[in-house]
Structure 1
Amino acid sequence: MGTEPVDELSAQNAALLTAYEQHLAHERALSGHTVRAYLADVTSLLLHLQRLGRADLDAATVRDLRSWLANQQTRGASRSTLQRRAAAARVFCAWAYETGRAGSNPAASLRSPKSVRTLPDTLHRRDADRLFAEAAALAREQGGPLGLRDVAILEVLYGAGVRVSELCGLDIDDLDRDRRTVRVLGKGSKERTVPLGEPAIRAVDAWLVTGRPGIAGPASGTAVFLGERGARIDPRVVRRVVHRSLRLVDGAPDLGPHGLRHAMATHLLEGGADLRSVQELLGHASLATTQIYTHVTAERIQAAFEQAHPRA
């Protein structure tokens, strides 16, 4: 839960935090990383309220919550961090009120600071083509199963636009080669089926038929992607694969796995795909989350106009 002194919480607040953790982990089925982030923010809030002399949420007001955010700001928290913490406070207070653990919701009128949304770095199409060409050439040069695995990882991340956690969680039965689709389990245990292009299918087949048997062992189970020791691959390994592969492409930004997801969405929209379809492919709960990619493509159009138009 970060660096907050959790042991300074009152017994009442500690019990409240434990109940909230169970709610996040089991009822909402959030990832361990997301649960820890929520708990860190809520712990910080509860400690702040205790220091103000608020024994429980019933005694807290929206001004107390605003003072908590103001305190975070003076300590150097970024605007995006303040937004996240304000959202965490709203979700927590709403849960406490709706479950009868608080008689009021002090965060009902809490607003987040406005932010300037930054555009994510992404690959140009030509760099994406070079990425796969370089990764395939390296795999042929090195030989062995891991090169085949890495090519398949890159193809699935970009071809299906999946999150790194979704890729690591793939099982062999999730692949449907006849329909050229893959079933993924996304945030909140929401399942969706996304298409895989022919290059991704070929890369995955090469890995499963030729590469995977060479390192598979008792710990492999039905996992599609494995680490060197034969267990299900870890997200940190996938990130290293992506960073290492992108370094092979001169001029390409240093992106992680999420950067390939960004690139897939951007290239789909540039190719004429509609926003709603891209939302479904990415598994976004809100269309607003997907709309960031329309700004990426608009920025590219503007840059091309300014560079090429004689009257720009």
Structure 2
Amino acid sequence: MVSTKGKAPKLVLMDAGFLAPLIVEFAYSLEALAHSGLTIRGYTDSARHFAAWVCEVGLQLDGLGKGAVDGFARHHCRCAGGRRWNRVSAKYARRAGRFVTFLAECGVVPPPPAPAEIVHPQILDYQRWLSVHRGLSDRSVSRQGRMVKRLLPALGGDPRVYSATTIRAVFRAEAQRCSPSHIRTMTSALRGYLRFLAASGLCRPGLDQAVPPVLQWRLSALPRYLPTADVERLIATCALSNPLDLRDRAALLLLARLGLRAGDVCGLRLDDFDWSAGAVRVCGKSRRSVRLPLPQDVGDAVLAYIKDGRPMVVEDRLFLRSKAPYRPFTTSSSISYIVDRALRRAGVEDPPSKGASLLRHSAATTMLRAGATLEAVGAILRHRSLDMTAHYAKVDVTMLETIAQPWPGEA
């Protein structure tokens, strides 16, 4: 008998059983997403532990779903390897869930069932109409559908019996429970829904006029903008030595020079840039695609990001996350966060706002003060109405002084 006194206990590795080859494929997929070796080991260790537990309790492939991950998280662990856990940590269980998601993506296990949501057929038709005929984004279509769905129980399912009295009563009752900004969005959604029903012959025409207007002064506030010197300070905070700053600098210049919206920047793709012509294609609201001239400093910043800062992954979207997995931004708020972070780095105290629209307003104000016409500014900002562009004329004090009438009496 060989004495083991004074020797370290032999490490007993977990047996992943029939899932062992799939764990190897899982590791390869994480490596392709540019995860670090430490992160890959953390995921594969959790996956191997989960696989050993699956073999122990006798689960089959068709039983590996969210319920299996929940059971793994709750199990009183006495598995091989010396673990003595009363409960698996939430982070550890999420890593095992990532492995199950990988198995579903590969078609090895059934995909998780979609959450059951009963949506009225008319709302589905309305959403399709918004997408096809109005050109709204998927996010806006989803929001409009939620708004109408909230009102539908009070309105009733038969549009043929809708009346102006019913619509006003339902809307006023909803206004008592919501904020003014929510009600303004609700107004747009309900009017659009009633116009869709009338165009489809499902209700009487003109009922959209029964929706009470929300009292507000259109374009009453001054545009929120930064002086040109502060905008340049924001851009100068981005160094040219690391990938994160290269990405942020390119995004800030697109916002500041071309007046793009956060959603425009978020949705840019590599093939939107025509380098030979010095132009960029932007697909904005209502999915209208336009070509804008690409200033030299903007083009240089985008090229620097693509060459030295952008991860080498198979993805056609321009801007990607700075940490693995390198995926595109899911919402435009990520672009606004870049602006917010630059404001804090530049030490801009008490900015009028902290989102991407701040640089859009600043670009329009700067162009107008430099002598650009309202038509030219409106073309760059892609305004449908010149009234929207005229909003920025209120901050051009020099121009307003030339048309201001003298005060008729003494102060």
Give TM class, smaller chain.
0.7 to 0.9
**Are the aligned partners of 1:185 and 1:191 in contact in 2 as well (CA < 8 Å)?**
yes
Q: How far does the alpha carbon of each residue in 1:241-290 deviate from its partner, in whole angstroms, 9 at most, with x for none?
A: 11101112322514211221121112112222222222221222222333
Q: Mark the runs of 5 or more structure 2 residues left unpaired by the alignment.
A: 1-116, 405-409
Instruction: Identify which range, 160-169 or 286-295, moves more after superposition.
Output: 286-295
- 1:93 partner SS: helix
* Equivalent residue for 2:317, pick from 220, 223, 226: 223
| 1:127 and 2:249 correspond | no
| 1:92 and 2:193 correspond | yes
Report the Cα distance in structure 2 between the residues aligned to 1:300 and 1:123, rounded to whole angstroms. Answer: 19
- 1:108 partner SS: helix
**1:169: which partner in 2?**
267
**Are the aligned partners of 2:234 and 2:342 in contact in 1 as well (CA < 8 Å)?**
yes
Q: How far does the alpha carbon of each residue in 1:5-40 deviate from its partner, in whole angstroms, 9 at most, with x for none?
A: x86x8xxxx111111122223343311221122112
- 1:129 partner SS: helix
| Paired amino acid for 1:242 | V
Q: How far does the alpha carbon of each residue in 1:198-233 deviate from its partner, in whole angstroms, 9 at most, with x for none?
A: 221221121122222xx1213x2x322222233333
Report the Cα distance in structure 2 between the residues aligned to 1:73 and 1:298, rounded to whole angstroms. Answer: 39
**1:308: which partner in 2?**
none
- 2:281 partner SS: strand
| 1:182 and 2:280 correspond | yes
More helix by share: 1
Report the Cα distance in structure 2 between the residues aligned to 1:64 and 1:292, rounded to whole angstroms. Answer: 37
| Paired amino acid for 2:328 | R
**Are the aligned partners of 2:247 and 2:309 in contact in 1 as well (CA < 8 Å)?**
yes
Report the Cα distance in structure 1 between the residues aligned to 2:344 and 2:281, rounded to whole angstroms. Answer: 30
| 1:20 and 2:121 correspond | no
Report the Cα distance in structure 2 between the residues aligned to 1:204 and 1:21, rounded to whole angstroms. Answer: 36
* Equivalent residue for 2:372, pick from 273, 280, 293: 273
Report the Cα distance in structure 2 between the residues aligned to 1:108 and 1:115, rounded to whole angstroms. Answer: 17
* Equivalent residue for 2:344, pick from 233, 236, 247: 247
Q: Give the Å deviation of 1:92.
A: 1.2
- 2:372 partner SS: coil
| 1:260 and 2:359 correspond | yes
**Are the aligned partners of 2:161 and 2:203 in contact in 1 as well (CA < 8 Å)?**
no
| 1:232 and 2:334 correspond | no
Structure possessing the higher relative contact order (Cα contacts under 8 Å, 6 or more residues apart) = 1
- 2:378 partner SS: helix
TM-score by length of 1: 0.80
Q: Give the Å deviation of 1:76.
A: 4.3
**2:78: which partner in 1?**
none
**Are the aligned partners of 1:226 and 1:233 in contact in 2 as well (CA < 8 Å)?**
yes
**1:3: which partner in 2?**
none
Q: Which has the larger radius of gyration?
A: 2
Q: Mark the runs of 5 or more structure 1 residues left unpaired by the alignment.
A: 1-5, 306-310
| Paired amino acid for 2:304 | A
**Are the aligned partners of 2:131 and 2:137 in contact in 1 as well (CA < 8 Å)?**
yes
Report the Cα distance in structure 2 between the residues aligned to 1:25 and 1:31, rounded to whole angstroms. Answer: 7
Q: How far does the alpha carbon of each residue in 1:103-161 deviate from its partner, in whole angstroms, 9 at most, with x for none?
A: 444223545223033334211111111111222xxx24xx3222111111100111111
Report the Cα distance in structure 2 between the residues aligned to 1:242 and 1:160, rounded to whole angstroms. Answer: 15
* Equivalent residue for 2:383, pick from 284, 287, 298: 284
The size of the alignment, in residue pairs, is: 281
Percent identity over paired residues: 28
- 2:208 partner SS: coil
- 2:345 partner SS: coil
Instruction: Identify which range, 232-241 or 84-93, moves more after superposition.
Output: 232-241
Report the Cα distance in structure 1 between the residues aligned to 2:398 and 2:153, rounded to whole angstroms. Answer: 43
**2:76: which partner in 1?**
none
TM-score by length of 2: 0.62
**Are the aligned partners of 2:262 and 2:333 in contact in 1 as well (CA < 8 Å)?**
no
Instruction: Identify which range, 191-200 or 290-299, moves more after superposition.
Output: 290-299
| 1:147 and 2:253 correspond | no
**1:199: which partner in 2?**
297
**2:162: which partner in 1?**
60
Report the Cα distance in structure 1 between the residues aligned to 2:150 and 2:397, rounded to whole angstroms. Answer: 39
**2:221: which partner in 1?**
118
**Are the aligned partners of 2:171 and 2:211 in contact in 1 as well (CA < 8 Å)?**
no
- 1:182 partner SS: strand
- Let me know the Cα RMSD of the aligned residues: 2.7
**Are the aligned partners of 1:270 and 1:297 in contact in 2 as well (CA < 8 Å)?**
yes
Report the Cα distance in structure 2 between the residues aligned to 1:66 and 1:119, rounded to whole angstroms. Answer: 32
**Are the aligned partners of 1:87 and 1:112 in contact in 2 as well (CA < 8 Å)?**
no
Instruction: Identify which range, 266-275 or 234-243, moves more after superposition.
Output: 234-243
Alignment CA distance shift 1:49-1:299 (3 Å): farther
* Equivalent residue for 1:40, pick from 133, 141, 146: 146
Alignment CA distance shift 1:286-1:41 (3 Å): farther
